[in-house]
Structure 1
Amino acid sequence: MTLIILDAGHGPDTPGKRTPDGKLREYDFNAAVAVLVGEFLTKEGMTIKYTHASTHDVALGERTASANRMRADAFVSIHANAFGNGWNTAQGIETYMYPQASKSSAVLASAVHKSLISACQRPDRGVKKADFAVLRDTNMPAILVECGFMSNQTEATLLQSKTYQLQCARAIAFGILCWEYGR
């Protein structure tokens, strides 16, 4: 049975991870979407584990070590982006993988990214490479998705919307399923 690790990026107490007006903490979006993705994938017969906690910030090293111990098939970290300290025009969706990622990570990143762009109709910022701990220190295909900018007023409103959260979750789940069935 396929084991997918879902990671609601950051934690409830991570400083600075908020909209400029303070109405949305990034963790609230990330966790809501992670739970929805988990529900969709569980219905498809996948086993889901989470690396975050609603009561405290879980260290990055703990998140990756846990995923590695469980020998997960894939690791997906869910985020909302931000640029600068105030409201600005940066917008769109981007997906990250490690610079030396496996072919399977690249396929997963592409499948999830295409699904998010199609479902959410936000600007396509592309699949990018980054040396993020959750990508570097995991032993399985791993990606990090940024579902919109908290620092953009239009996208901040979307990120707070249950409808948009559901769109993102369905799209991420669909991308994971496409990757799984293509392996």
Structure 2
Amino acid sequence: MATIILDAGHGPLTPGKRSPDGKLLEYQFNSELADRIRHYLLLEGVDVFYSHENSRDVPLTERAAIANKLDADAFVSLHANAFGNSWNEAQGIETYMYPQASKRTAALVEQVHHSMITACGRKDRGMKPANFAVLRETKMPAVLVECGFMTNREEAGLLLSRAYRVQCARAIGFGILNWLYHEKTT
């Protein structure tokens, strides 16, 4: 049985992670998305654990340590993006992986990214390398997903909507499941 770690990026107390009007708090989006993805993966027989907590901001090194201790098959960090602190035109979906990532990691990132682009119909900002702690310090394939910009009025509205949250969760879950399937068959 596969084990996936879902990480609702940042934490409930992290300052500044919100839309310019304050209506969208990033952690609320991230944690609800994690709950929805967990539901879909559990239905498919996948074990799911969280590296975040609703009561505190879990340090990044602790998040990676949780995943490593559980020897998970993959680590998926969920985010809503921002460009500055005011409304602007930045928009779209992007995914990140560690610059020296394995082929297995690249395959995970590709599956999740393409699933998100296909399902959500947002601008494709690409798959990018990044030296983020949760990507660098995890010992398994890891991806960080940015589901849209909180600083874009249209995307902030989407990020607040139940329909878009369901769409993102299904897409990310589908990408993870596709990756797991290909892992077993190759």
How far is the alpha carbon of 1:72 from its aligned partner? 0.4
Identity, % of aligned pairs?
63
Q: Which residue of 2 aligns with 1:101?
A: 101
Q: Which residue of 2 aligns with 1:23?
A: 23
Q: Which residue of 2 aligns with 1:120?
A: 120
Q: Deviations over 1:65-87 (max 9, x none)?
A: 01000000000000000001100
Q: Which residue of 1 aligns with 2:48?
A: 48
Q: Please, what TM-score do these two structures have when normalized by structure 2?
A: 0.98
Q: Deviations over 1:39-79 (max 9, x none)?
A: 00000000000011111111101100010000000000000
How far is the alpha carbon of 1:117 from its aligned partner? 0.4
How far is the alpha carbon of 1:90 from its aligned partner? 0.0
Q: Which residue of 2 aligns with 1:59?
A: 59
- Stretches of structure 1 that go unaligned for 5 or more consecutive residues are none
Please tell me the residue identity of whatever aligns with 1:36: R
- Stretches of structure 2 that go unaligned for 5 or more consecutive residues are none
Q: Please, what TM-score do these two structures have when normalized by structure 1?
A: 0.99
Q: Which residue of 2 aligns with 1:179?
A: 179
* Cα distance in 2, alignment partners of residues 59 and 85 from structure 1: 23
Instruction: Name the count of aligned residue pairs.
Output: 183
Write the mapping of 1:112-151 to structure 2, written as runs, cut at 5 A: 112-151=112-151
Q: Which residue of 1 aligns with 2:163?
A: 163
SS in 1 for 2:144: strand
* Cα distance in 2, alignment partners of residues 67 and 182 from structure 1: 21
* Cα distance in 2, alignment partners of residues 43 and 53 from structure 1: 22
Q: Deviations over 1:145-166 (max 9, x none)?
A: 0000000000000000011000
* Cα distance in 2, alignment partners of residues 156 and 17 from structure 1: 12
User: Where do 4+ consecutive residues of structure 1 move more than 2 Å?
Assistant: none
SS in 2 for 1:41: helix
SS in 1 for 2:86: coil
In the alignment, structure 1 residue 13 sits paired with structure 2 residue 10: no
* Cα distance in 2, alignment partners of residues 39 and 83 from structure 1: 31
Calculate the aligned-residue CA RMSD, in Å.
Answer: 0.4
